[in-house]
């Protein structure tokens, strides 16, 4: 009896066991043990299905259904294998598993495609372990280069290069991660928001993805004794940080409701009750569909932070570590998906994505399509993330029709 799944619902449960954590979520960060195991079992499954598998030097995993035409370009379908900490079972995984099942369908029923079809399990998108996001797609599109990860360490001090090497990867002399043969990228993904459920639509056809800027803010004060240091003598890094964060959320209210900003991570040192915090590090994630609005907001909050630091006698460091522009998805591919939905009597909604995706990077290299299925309650990046089997299968049926149109017609 094959250890591999027979359908999408089984595949989601099967893959989510790699990195399963007690609260019911999944933690599968770049180059970690569960990450490596997940990539390896996906490789073995694709080989059993008769796909040609390969890794590139940084750990992107591919399964190929080749055309007979050796000069043919490649249509890439897939998503990312990594997750946030205690994330859901569907974010990223769904796009990979649906891609594998689509190629399984074509191998069994359609034979060789006119162009190569490849499913990719991209090594990293979330930015959960190291301060870089979309590492897999960023290297494949040439937006990143290997030097971009120099000096990066995770929260346990493990350096990026060491983690990559211990997982069995690393750039040789020729970092041949950039792909020039990709003629289109297709990503099937959960919406991670409430729109499709609220509108009772089965498919989201993404027209654009918001711009995103992520910052690391370091506030330095003076650690001191809480009992003997009068308030007027203090250089309290945490007081500075909470004042900045309060003002950041206040500033957001001056913008339209499409503007979202979040402080998701905060570290206090030395983080003990009877020492005035000497240093605080926190993150700012800011997003908006229009890049100029996003830039103006970021300039404003940085000015505010500097004023607060000066007033409280603190030092401040502001470092941007993820900066992606808003991007349009390919109009022709959107049109094809729309026609597929109409002909199949599948309800759809043309929409923007507030979540970032690997499609954002591929769209700068080739025509790209991002297709959503509903998220129950709009919840994602949580153990409660859920999409019904019916919605998963509807997404797969649209994906199969789209890839058939692109690779067999
Ligand atoms: O953060 C995001 O938008 C994506 O889920 N990585
Ligand atoms: Mn995500
Ligand atoms: Mn994702």
Asked if 202 and 69 sit in the same domain, the reply is: yes
pLDDT of 173: 56
pLDDT of 129: 97
Tell me the pLDDT tens digit for each residue of 226-262. 999 999 999 999 999 999 999 999 999 999 999 999 9
pTM: 0.94
CA distance 76 to 81: 15
Q: How distant is the alpha carbon of residue 223 from its chain centre?
A: 37
How sure is the predictor about 1, in pLDDT bands with cuts at 50, 70 and 90?
A: confident
Asked if 347 and 218 sit in the same domain, the reply is: no
From 81, 133, 187, give the residue whose CB has the most ligand 1 atoms within 8 Å, as the site to mutate.
133
The domain boundary, picked from 293, 324, 355, lies at 324
322 has binding-site annotation: no
pLDDT of 172: 66
The domain boundary, picked from 279, 303, 324, lies at 324
Tell me the pLDDT tens digit for each residue of 46-68. 999 999 999 999 999 999 999 99
Q: 27: domain range?
A: 8-210+326-407
Percent residues over pLDDT 70 in the chain: 99
Average pLDDT over residues 18-33: 98
CATH of the domain at 233: 3.30.70.360
Average pLDDT over residues 165-175: 79
Q: What is the mean pLDDT of the chain?
A: 97
189 has binding-site annotation: yes
93 phi/psi in degrees, rounded to 5: -55, -40
CATH of the domain at 172: 3.40.630.10
Residue 90's nearest CA partner among 403, 390, 375 is: 375
Asked if 215 and 203 sit in the same domain, the reply is: no
Distance in Å, CA 220 to ligand 3 centroid = 34
pLDDT of 174: 55
Asked if 350 and 257 sit in the same domain, the reply is: no
Residue 289 has pLDDT above 60, yes or no: yes
Residue 367's nearest CA partner among 335, 322, 399 is: 335
CA distance 98 to 82: 16
Pocket of ligand 1 (CB under 6 A): 125-126, 355-356
Average pLDDT over residues 165-180: 82
CA distance 347 to 86: 32
| Cα distance from N-terminal residue to C-terminal residue, the chain | 36
Asked if 53 and 198 sit in the same domain, the reply is: yes
Quote the number of domains for the chain: 2
Asked if 280 and 291 sit in the same domain, the reply is: yes
Distance in Å, CA 295 to ligand 3 centroid = 24
Q: Is residue 1 part of a domain?
A: no
Q: Is residue 3 part of a domain?
A: no
CA distance 67 to 103: 12
Asked if 89 and 14 sit in the same domain, the reply is: yes
Residue 267 has pLDDT above 80, yes or no: yes
Asked if 221 and 361 sit in the same domain, the reply is: no
Residue 175 has pLDDT above 80, yes or no: no
The domain boundary, picked from 324, 343, 361, lies at 324
Query: What's the burial of 197, exposed, middle or buried (CB within 10 Å: 0-12/13-18/19+)?
Result: middle
Q: Is residue 2 part of a domain?
A: no
Asked if 269 and 341 sit in the same domain, the reply is: no
Q: Is residue 158 part of a domain?
A: yes
Q: Which residue has the tokens 């020039």?
A: 180
């Amino acid at each position: 009896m094959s250890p591999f799944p027979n359908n999408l619902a089984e595949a989601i449960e099967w893959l989510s066991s790699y990195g399963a954590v007690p609260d019911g979520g999944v933690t599968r960060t770049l180059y970690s043990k569960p990450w490596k195991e997940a990539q390896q079992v996906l490789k073995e499954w694709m080989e059993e299905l008769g796909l040609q598998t390969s890794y590139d030097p940084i750990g992107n995993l591919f399964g190929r259904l080749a055309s007979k035409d050796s000069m043919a370009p490649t249509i890439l379908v897939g998503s990312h294998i990594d997750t946030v900490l205690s994330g859901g079972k569907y974010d990223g995984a769904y796009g990979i598993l649906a891609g594998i099942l689509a190629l399984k369908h074509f191998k069994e029923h359609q034979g060789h495609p006119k162009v190569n079809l490849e499913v990719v399990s991209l090594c990293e998108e979330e930015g959960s372990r190291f301060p870089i996001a979309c590492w897999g797609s960023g290297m494949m599109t040439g937006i990143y280069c290997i030097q971009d990860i120099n000096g990066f360490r995770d929260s346990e001090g493990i350096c990026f290069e060491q983690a990559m090497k211990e997982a069995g990867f690393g750039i040789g002399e020729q970092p041949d991660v950039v792909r020039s043969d990709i003629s289109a990228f297709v990503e099937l993904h959960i919406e991670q928001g409430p729109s499709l459920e609220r509108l009772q639509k089965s498919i989201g056809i993404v027209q654009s993805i918001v711009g995103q800027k992520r910052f690391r803010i370091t506030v330095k004060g003076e650690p001191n004794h809480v009992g003997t240091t009068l308030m007027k003598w203090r250089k309290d890094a945490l007081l500075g940080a909470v004042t900045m964060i309060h003002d950041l959320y206040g500033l957001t209210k001056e913008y339209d409701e499409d503007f979202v900003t979040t402080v998701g991570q905060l570290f206090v040192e030395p983080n003990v009750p009877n020492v005035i915090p000497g240093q605080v590090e926190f993150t700012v994630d800011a997003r908006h569909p229009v890049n100029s609005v996003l830039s103006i907001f970021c300039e404003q909050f940085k000015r505010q932070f500097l004023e607060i630091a000066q007033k409280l006698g603190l030092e401040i460091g502001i470092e941007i570590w993820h900066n992606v522009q808003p991007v349009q998805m390919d109009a022709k591919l959107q049109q094809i998906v729309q026609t597929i939905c109409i002909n199949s009597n599948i309800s759809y909604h043309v929409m923007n994505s507030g979540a970032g995706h690997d499609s954002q990077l591929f769209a700068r290299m080739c025509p790209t399509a991002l297709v959503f299925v509903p998220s129950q309650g709009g919840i994602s990046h949580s153990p409660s993330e859920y999409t019904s089997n019916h919605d998963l299968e509807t997404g797969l049926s649209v994906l199969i029709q789209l890839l058939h149109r692109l690779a067999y017609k």
